[in-house]
Copies of this chain bind each other. A is one copy, B any other.
Amino acid sequence: MTTNTKPSLYTCLSPALLQLFDLTNSIVVIIDVLRATSTIATALHNGAKAIVPVDSVAECIRIGKQIEAITAGERDGQVAEGLQYGNSPFEYPEDFIKAKTLVLTTTNGTKLLHMALEKGAPEIITGSFPNLSAVCDYLQQQNKNVVLACAAWKDKVNIEDTLFAGAVINRLKDSFQIMCDSSQVADTLYQSAQPDLYEFMKARDASHYHRLTNYGLEKDIRFCLTADGSPVLPLYKEGQLIKHNSAIN
């Protein structure tokens, strides 16, 4: 970077492509819009003390018992057997979640977070539309390299995570060197989907939209696609996702 001092921004559209990116000098943004990273932002915004992301149901149950926390998670879009709660942001209102710790495992999002850890990511945050501005503001302030890592669906590229990557790029592209075609694809998709992401998902019959509406979760989808309903920045520290600056606020 001799001629250009802007930090770089890459987009990884699927966990199966994560090996193509060097995470060791970047902030990694884990993106699982429907619904893990929407739920993480919402639970923290509603006062959860911390969220412990784990990559298996067994681990979720074990740690839940050990620290006497709420266990939650889904497999294939539904509450996983043996866990108490699911992966909907509406399950975590303030009067339930305040000051509690949530141990969470999901099909794609929490697994990707652990992959990023294993690949040496020095700093991990999570993002979705409910905390879009918080993510963008933080990345802008930090002025470091960024990898936007989409959780996808069982490694298959999905529209909603790509849309969120596009939304971030759309806001930050003047402050970063946009280094890959995936970022351009995401930005173009986001611009095409404007102004109504929900209608776009519906019209495009996005596979995940379809899967969730089969479970009657339109309300979840609308919330997860709406900007800034849960304006916090979840930051991974020592095994937990906590609210950035939570010690100060």
Fill in one digit per residue for A198-211: 1 if any B CB lies within 8 Å of its CB, else 0.
00000011111000
What is the minimal beta-carbon distance from A225 to any residue of chain B, in angstroms? 14
In the complex the two chains form, is B181's CB within 8 Å of A206's CB? yes
CA distance A14 to B155 in the complex (A): 12
Report whether over half of chain A's contact residues are helix, strand or loop; otherwise say mixed.
helix
The stretch that binds B, out of A91-99, A132-140, A156-164, A238-246, is A156-164
Segment 1-42 of A: residues with Cβ below 8 Å from B: 13-14, 16-17, 19-20
What is the minimal beta-carbon distance from A187 to any residue of chain B, in angstroms? 8
In the complex the two chains form, is B20's CB within 8 Å of A17's CB? no
A170 CB within 8 Å of chain B: no
What is A's interface to B at a CB cutoff of 8 Å?
A: 13-14, 16-17, 19-20, 153-159, 162, 178-182, 184-185, 188-189, 191-193, 204-208
Which residue of chain B lies nearest to A209 when distances are taken between CB atoms in the complex? B181
A to B CB contacts below 8 Å, 16 in the list: A16-B17, A17-B156, A17-B157, A20-B155, A156-B180, A156-B182, A157-B180, A157-B181, A162-B181, A162-B185, A180-B207, A181-B206, A181-B207, A184-B204, A184-B205, A188-B192
CA distance A179 to B181 in the complex (A): 23
Query: Which of A20, A181, A182 counts the most chain B CB atoms within 10 A?
Result: A181
What is the minimal beta-carbon distance from A107 to any residue of chain B, in angstroms? 15
CA distance A24 to B114 in the complex (A): 33
> Which residues of chain B are near A208, meaning CB under 8 Å?
181
Contacts A16-B20, A17-B17, A189-B189: A184 and B156 contacting too (C-beta < 8 A)?
no
CA distance A184 to B188 in the complex (A): 12
